[in-house]
Structure 1
Amino acid sequence: MQTLWTLTSGPRPTFGNSSLPARCDTVIVGGGFTGLTAALHLVKAGRSVVVLEADTLGEGASGRNAGFVVPNFAKADPATVRAKLPSARADALLRLVAGGADAVFATIAEEAIGCDAAPTGWLQPAYGADMAETLKRRAADWRALGHPVDFLDAAEIARQTGMTIYAGGLIDRSGGTIHPLNYLLGLATAVARRGGTVREGASVSRIEKTGHGWRVEGPTFAVEADSVILATNAFTTGAASRMGRTGVPLRVIQVATRPIDAETVTRIAPDRRPVGDTRSNLFTYRLDRDNRLVSGGMAIVPFGALERVGRAVADRLVHELGLPRHPGIEIAWSGTAIMTPDFLPRLHVLGDGFFGGIGCNGRGIAMTAQLGAVLARLALGAPAEAQPIPVRPLRPLPLHALTPVVTAAALAHARFEDWRRGGT
Structure 2
Amino acid sequence: MQAHRQKTLWTLTANPAPALETASIPRTADVVIIGAGFTGLTAAREIAKSGKTAVVLEASYIGAGATGVNAGFVVPNFAKADPATVYQKLPRGKADALLRLVGEGADTVFSTIREEQISCDANQVGWLQPAYGTATADLLRKRTADWQALGRPVRFLSPQEVEQQTSLSIYSGGLLDESGGTIHPLNYAMGLAEAVKRHGGVIREGAEVRDVRQTSGGWTVIFTGGVIQAGAVLLCTNAFTTGAAGRLGRTTVPLRVYQVATRPLPRETVERISPNHRPVGDTRSNLFTYRLDRDNRLISGGMAVIPVGAFERIGKAVVDRLVSELRLEQHPGVEIVWTGVAAMTPDFLPRLHEFGRGFFGGIGCNGRGIAMTAQLGRVLARAALGEPLETLPVPTVKARPLPFHAFTPIVASAALAHARFKDRMMK
TM-score range, shorter chain: over 0.9
Q: Is the 8 A contact 1:25 1:226 kept in 2?
A: yes
Match of 1:19 in 2: 24
Q: Is the 8 A contact 2:207 2:223 kept in 1?
A: yes
1:123 to 2:128 alignment: yes
Q: Give the AA of the match of 2:180.
A: G
Specify which of 25, 30, 36 is matched with residue 35 of structure 2: 30
Match of 1:330 in 2: 335
Q: Give the AA of the match of 1:216.
A: V
Specify which of 298, 301, 323 is matched with residue 303 of structure 2: 298
Q: Give the AA of the match of 1:345.
A: P
Task: Please give the residue correspondences for 1:130-279 in structure 2 after superposition, counting only pairs within 5 Å.
Answer: 130-279=135-284
Task: Please give the residue correspondences for 1:367-386 in structure 2 after superposition, counting only pairs within 5 Å.
Answer: 367-386=372-391
Secondary structure in 2 matching 1:405: helix
1:40 to 2:61 alignment: no
Cα separation, 1, equivalents of 2:123 and 2:208:
34
Cα separation, 1, equivalents of 2:276 and 2:241:
40
Cα separation, 2, equivalents of 1:107 and 1:273:
20
Cα separation, 1, equivalents of 2:224 and 2:138:
56
Which deviations, in whole Å up to 9, do the C-alpha atoms of 1:193-224 show, x marking residues without a partner?
11100111110101001111111111311111
Q: Is the 8 A contact 1:314 1:329 kept in 2?
A: yes
Task: Please give the residue correspondences for 1:310-389 in structure 2 after superposition, counting only pairs within 5 Å.
Answer: 310-389=315-394
Note the C-alpha offset of 1:137: 0.6
Note the C-alpha offset of 1:323: 0.4
Relative to the length of structure 1, the TM-score reads 0.99
Match of 1:287 in 2: 292
Cα separation, 2, equivalents of 1:52 and 1:306:
31
Q: Give the AA of the match of 2:418.
A: H
Secondary structure in 2 matching 1:241: helix
Secondary structure in 2 matching 1:205: strand
In structure 1, the gaps of 5 or more residues are none
Secondary structure in 2 matching 1:411: helix
Q: Give the AA of the match of 1:317.
A: L
Cα separation, 1, equivalents of 2:20 and 2:273:
40
Secondary structure in 2 matching 1:251: strand
Note the C-alpha offset of 1:13: 1.7
1:390 to 2:395 alignment: yes
Relative to the length of structure 2, the TM-score reads 0.98
Which deviations, in whole Å up to 9, do the C-alpha atoms of 1:43-80 show, x marking residues without a partner?
11001010001001111100000000000000000001
Match of 1:106 in 2: 111
Which deviations, in whole Å up to 9, do the C-alpha atoms of 1:119-165 show, x marking residues without a partner?
00000000001111110110000000000100000000000001110
In structure 2, the gaps of 5 or more residues are 1-5
Q: Is the 8 A contact 2:133 2:171 kept in 1?
A: yes
Cα separation, 2, equivalents of 1:353 and 1:388:
18
Secondary structure in 1 matching 2:160: helix
State the 4+ residue runs in structure 1 displaced beyond 4 angstroms. Answer: none
Q: Count how many residue pairs are aligned between Structure 1 and Structure 2.
A: 422
Cα separation, 2, equivalents of 1:292 and 1:273:
13
